[in-house]
Amino acid sequence: MTHAVNNMEHEPAPEKEPTVLDLYKSFTKDWSTFFTFIRSLWDARRREEFDRALAYEAAQNAAAEQVIEPVRLTTFPWRAVLAFGLALFAQAMVEPPLRLGMISVVIYLAAFGVGLWSYRSKEWHMPEMPASWRMADLFSVRLVPLILAATLGVSAFLAFGEGKFNATNTSLWLFSMGLLVYSFWVRTPRVLTQEENAVSPTKVWTWGGAELKIQNFEIVRNKWLRYGLLAAVIVIAVFFRLHQLNEVPIEPFSDHAEKILDVYEITSLGNTNIFFERNTGREAFQMYWTLLVLNVFNTGYTFFSLKLGTVLLGILTLPFMYMLGREFGNARVALFVLFLFGVASWPNIISRIGLRFPLYPLFAAPTLLYLIRGLRTQNRNDFILAGLFLGLGLHGYSPFRIVPILVVVAFLFYFLHTNSGEDRRRAFFWFLLMVVVSVFVFSPLLRYWIAHPDHFGYRAFTRLSSVETPLPGPAWQVFLSNMYKGLLMFNWDDGEIGTHSVTHRPALDVITASLFLMGLVFVVVRYIRQRDWRDLFLLATIPILILPSVLSLAFPGENPALNRAGGASVVVFVMAAMALDGLVTSIGSGLRRKIIAYSMVGLLFAGIAYSNYDIVFNKFSTSFAAAHWNSSEMGEVITDFRNKYGGTDTVWIVPYPYWVDTRLPGIYAGVPDRDFAIWPDRFSDSLAYPPPKMFIYWNADTETERLLRELYPNGKVTRYTSAFPGKDFFIFLVEQ
């Protein structure tokens, strides 16, 4: 017993584990130790970022090696050319005034058959999409900025209770979003592409004693050629957006009067609303954007300010379309997408109207871009950007409210197509991140929605349900009928709403429409063969993004509507560009074949540009002018009266059924906040005003002239001859 005790006495005492207090004392005992500790944390952070960068580079290199161009035949691709020719002929058969629908269907079926033959024969293939990889991510977060973001976000949400933006709640909101992005953002250093790492021979020119040397000549030449083509396409697209903007469309209608009054009241009455309730309710983005545009360009509260603002929104969509083309193909596909979308009549017209229509594709394009790229690369920064654009889009145009459903569908397809539990867990985290970011951005409107659900959803429910008028039949039957018509809008009939389309013709030109259908068929075939979730998602986006038009169950005559289906244009032109890329590459890679291929592209582009120019600046311009009243001419008459007599208080317009909105002439006269209407039963009220006085009335309104002559026997009547046939009006002038 004693011996055992003695042995125990000779064993070393167990070491005492350090406490948290001991650790704290160890790195705060002096300044040198503290700075050493901070430096070690910084170095660990840098090592973490370096490891992530290495993993990112390795993943990119591995993905680049997986991109394999399909094997092409050396013979001329006559099957592909024949298939495209048949599709082109089939689409030409449905152009007005032919409208030979059954013949077109038969020829299209033949085109699809030959196209599938060319696909099996390795002639016409869709471009290879960028490969997927798993980017390294340690799921780190900056905790302090995240806590501050949550605190400021909740404070901003509560401060938005009055339904208006002010300096306090807007600052809290913006700071909360900035801190939220910072708390999750990760550094992903730029990795050089294969082209940037490549080497080509040096080119040397000598003139006398001078020598010009360009290293990597072929690479530099190709890069600047690509930049030149990109610049040329951008110039063409901008030209199509801005050309004749003051004349096409020529006249505003009632919705424009509502918008201009909303913008005017922001500055005159301080109505900095989150949601503008006038005219069944409108999101606020366009109002503040127009206010910015009219101040920057000094255009005033005019119809042109509205048009310029929305056209600029259409132009801002172009870079996202280019990047989306790269995400579904390559630089060539991106260039094709940019051209097709840039000159197309559909996005061009909805950008020119001066209403919120282009906000749907503007925010749908980047949301889809960063969502798809994020799921492909698992880069959390892409999901942050997707969340930002998703939240912003909800402040834009009501049909964008369908996009959150599309986001859920994208993640669902991704979950179903991956066998990795780890990938599913990571994707669920990205989904939550995207939801959180979008909710922060959407929070002002969310606060309004909670306080005023009836106002927020009223316009949508007037179309979806029997709130305003009974449904014309069982809801499911109307829905299926609307969906059928909606899916045919691209190649058959774009509907009967003349304010944003040339009615009862395909939404696309002949060439783009045929490319779109061929691309659609090839995407279906490729999904069947490869089971890539992106192909299935691409197919699903079209019926989902046209739902805002399809769900007009109470007013099926409003479907299809190019404005409410505008988000689908983002995907439609991508599919058409993918088909065109496959047709070009099917011809081959030799110099002679490249000349043939790109000559064909040049001819197709010329035909597309000519066709869309004719649709917008001839057909649409003429039909729109014929269908809308000449309020600008009435505005000129009011302006002349003010210049001659010094005011407009004694100017009135006599309303008449289905005639001009009596607020619109005042916009042209610089009086955006006055309705010039005076009804015949109130003519006697004008006696209280001293002359001169002026009354404007419709040329078929004989009763108005009789009543005015009873009050003012000395009044003079003149007929204003309009530049638009059948739109003359009368002027009754009282000078004494």
Cis preceding-peptide flag for 97 (omega within 30 of 0): yes
Is it the case that residue 41 has pLDDT exceeding 50?
no
**Cα(520)–Cα(510) distance, integer angstroms:** 16
Percent of the chain, pLDDT > 90?
78
Three-class SS of residue 210?
strand
Is it the case that residue 6 has pLDDT exceeding 50?
no
| pLDDT score recorded for residue 62 | 45
For residue 416, give Cα distances in angstroms to 70, 383, 420, 423, 728. 27, 19, 10, 11, 64
Q: What is the pLDDT of residues 216-244, one digit of tens each?
A: 667 777 788 889 999 999 999 999 999 99
**Cα(261)–Cα(477) distance, integer angstroms:** 40
Residues 6 or more apart from 551 whose CB is under 8 A from it? 463, 464, 479, 482
| pLDDT score recorded for residue 499 | 94
Handedness of CA 301, 307, 311, 314 (dihedral sign): positive
Contact 289, 351 (CB under 8 A): no
More confident residue, 168 or 35: 168
Segment among 3-12, 132-141, 609-618 with least mean pLDDT:
3-12
484, with CB counted inside 10 A (0-12, 13-18, 19+), is: exposed
| pLDDT score recorded for residue 50 | 46
| pLDDT score recorded for residue 1 | 40
| pLDDT score recorded for residue 319 | 97
Give the HSE-up count for residue 141: Cα atoms under 13 Å, Cβ half-sphere. Answer: 15
80, with CB counted inside 10 A (0-12, 13-18, 19+), is: buried
Other Cβ atoms closer than 10 A to 328: 26
Q: What is the pLDDT of residues 462-488, one digit of tens each?
A: 889 888 899 999 999 999 999 999 999
| pLDDT score recorded for residue 49 | 46
Question: For residue 672, how far is the Cα from the chain centroid?
Answer: 29
| pLDDT score recorded for residue 66 | 44
User: If you ran DSSP here, which 8-state letter would residue 273 be given?
Assistant: B
For residue 463, give Cα distances in angstroms to 483, 497, 563, 569. 15, 15, 15, 22
| pLDDT score recorded for residue 459 | 86
Segment among 157-171, 264-278, 579-593 with least mean pLDDT:
579-593
| pLDDT score recorded for residue 53 | 47
Global pTM value? 0.89
Residue for token digits 């495209």? 84
Q: What is the pLDDT of residues 488-509, one digit of tens each?
A: 999 999 999 999 999 999 999 9
Identity of residue 72 = R
Q: Among 73, 67, 84, which residue's Cα sits nearest to residue 122?
A: 73
Question: For residue 441, how far is the Cα from the chain centroid?
Answer: 17
Mean pLDDT of 705-727: 95
pLDDT interval class at 655 (50, 70, 90): very high
| pLDDT score recorded for residue 276 | 96
Domain ranges of the chain: 89-140+186-626, 141-185, 631-734
